Amino acid sequence: MNMRLVTRVTLGFAVAAPLAIGPNIEAQAAEDFIKIGEVGSTTGSEATFGVATHQGVDLAIKEINATGGIKGKKLKVILLDDQGKPEEAATATTRLITQDKVTAIIGEVASSRSLAMAPIAQQYKIPMISPSSTNPKVTEIGDYIFRVCFIDPFQGFVMARFAAENLKIKRVAILRDVKNDYSVGLAKYFTETFKKLGGDIVLDQSYSAGDIDFKSQLTAIRATKPDAIFVPGYYTEVGLIARQARSLGIKVPMMGGDGWDSPKLLQIGGKAMEGAYFSNHYSAEDKSPHVQAFIDRYRKAYKDTPSGLAAMGFDATMVLADAMKRAKSLSTSDIRAALAATKDFQGVTGRISIDQQRNAVKPAVVLKVVNGSFAYESTIRPG
Ligand code: PHE
């Protein structure tokens, strides 16, 4: 097991006078904390997912602790890095539950890793909340598994509708990551809606996470003369794919989903990303006071504009804290019941109600890459 412990403790305050308190007090005080586990990729090719999410989680924890905590206790988050590997995510989950004795778990971002974690959380009856895993199967694993984001049948619908109605295109080629449950699912849901809207999938090609050469797939795609290429993968591969597509003379727009949400997409893809469209959970350009107030606080803490992932990490933590406040006790079954009853919780990424399947039903935004940043294009609501 080579999992890395990133942060043992995040406290909203510092223990100021160790000499006056004495050596035992710290252990004793630890019982007054509600321990929350977090599993994320803070290293590896999806490192920005884990780092951004944790910054959102941490900001939420600090705000909750600064306003008195929950039922007289402060929150403490224990973050474990899974390096972007499902096996490590599973190991981390077991460790958080059996050794650290956490009350709830936040994670993962990537659906494949949430799918590796969820059976363990379910088995131990520890509530698990994924901030941003969108594959439907994640919450189907059991009644202790929740998410605060929309799911991919909706996200696929959003991009298919955007392609057909806003871009008015008919012929799309797909390039999916077959090692990634999210990518495979989103390609499928996009295809379903796009065909219903009268569109054609002219070619469906695949790659495997970690690949660096996509020229043969792109050459085949080029031959079909599509109007756009849908690449529902993660930013590292997508950036490379975009560059290689441009170098092969492919000029049509690239489209994708929330897995593109990283500043690294623009670093890796550079100019090749210009004019591309992707769906996401939030836009930093949203004028809503909830969004703008969050951005202000986040910038004060991290000197950076929050990504969708940071906003989702923040919302997942706030939804959990809200459930803990409403729960009859801090037993995991009472917290689970309170989470399931979440209704109209005002998050940064919209109002969050947990449905019967333990998913959140929320709008999605479409963003466009313009001059090296993510510009707001449109909002698509469910239903
Ligand atoms: N939705 C992606 C998945 O399920 C993860 C993701 C969410 C990535 C948001 C980036 C931003 O795998």
How confident is residue 32, by pLDDT bands cut at 50, 70 and 90?
A: confident
- Residues 69 and 115 grouped into a single domain: yes
Distance of CA 266 from the midpoint of ligand 1 (Å) = 17
Report the pocket of ligand 1 as residue ranges, CB < 6 Å.
Answer: 49, 109-111, 132-135, 182, 258-259, 261, 308-309
Mean pLDDT along residues 34-55:
98
- Residues 159 and 270 grouped into a single domain: yes
Assigned domain for 381 exists: no
- Residues 26 and 120 grouped into a single domain: yes
How confident is residue 114, by pLDDT bands cut at 50, 70 and 90?
A: very high
Distance of CA 149 from the midpoint of ligand 1 (Å) = 10
Assigned domain for 15 exists: yes
- Residues 180 and 252 grouped into a single domain: yes
Residue 26 has pLDDT above 50, yes or no: no
- Residues 27 and 108 grouped into a single domain: yes
Assigned domain for 380 exists: no
336 vs 12, more confident: 336
- Which pLDDT score, from 0 to 100, does residue 158 have? 98
Give, using CA atoms, the residue closest to atom 9 of ligand 1. Answer: 258
Average pLDDT, the chain: 93
* Residues 6 or more apart in contact with residue 150 via CB below 8 angstroms: 134, 281, 359, 360, 361, 362, 363, 364, 382
Residue 12 has pLDDT above 60, yes or no: no
- Which pLDDT score, from 0 to 100, does residue 31 have? 64
Give, using CA atoms, the residue closest to atom 7 of ligand 1. Answer: 132
Residue 353 has pLDDT above 80, yes or no: yes
Mean pLDDT along residues 188-193:
98
Q: Reduce the DSSP state of residue 124 to 3 states and report it.
A: coil
- Residues 111 and 41 grouped into a single domain: yes
* Domain stop point among 232, 255, 280: 280
Q: Reduce the DSSP state of residue 281 to 3 states and report it.
A: coil
- Which pLDDT score, from 0 to 100, does residue 115 have? 98
Each residue of 355-369: pLDDT tens digit? 999 999 999 999 999
- Which pLDDT score, from 0 to 100, does residue 30 have? 53
Mean pLDDT along residues 200-213:
98
Q: Which atom of ligand 1 is nearest to the CA of 112?
A: 12
* Domain stop point among 242, 263, 280: 280
Assigned domain for 229 exists: yes
Pair 75, 321: CB distance under 8 Å: yes
Q: Which atom of ligand 1 is nearest to the CA of 155?
A: 1
- Which pLDDT score, from 0 to 100, does residue 8 have? 42
**Sequential DSSP letters for 315-355:** HHHHHHHHHHHHSSSSSHHHHHHHHHT--SEEETTEEE-B-
Range of the domain at 50: 4-150+288-362
Q: Which atom of ligand 1 is nearest to the CA of 109?
A: 5
Distance of CA 358 from the midpoint of ligand 1 (Å) = 17
- Which pLDDT score, from 0 to 100, does residue 383 have? 79
Residue 1 has pLDDT above 60, yes or no: no
Each residue of 289-334: pLDDT tens digit? 999 999 999 999 999 999 999 999 999 999 999 999 999 999 999 9
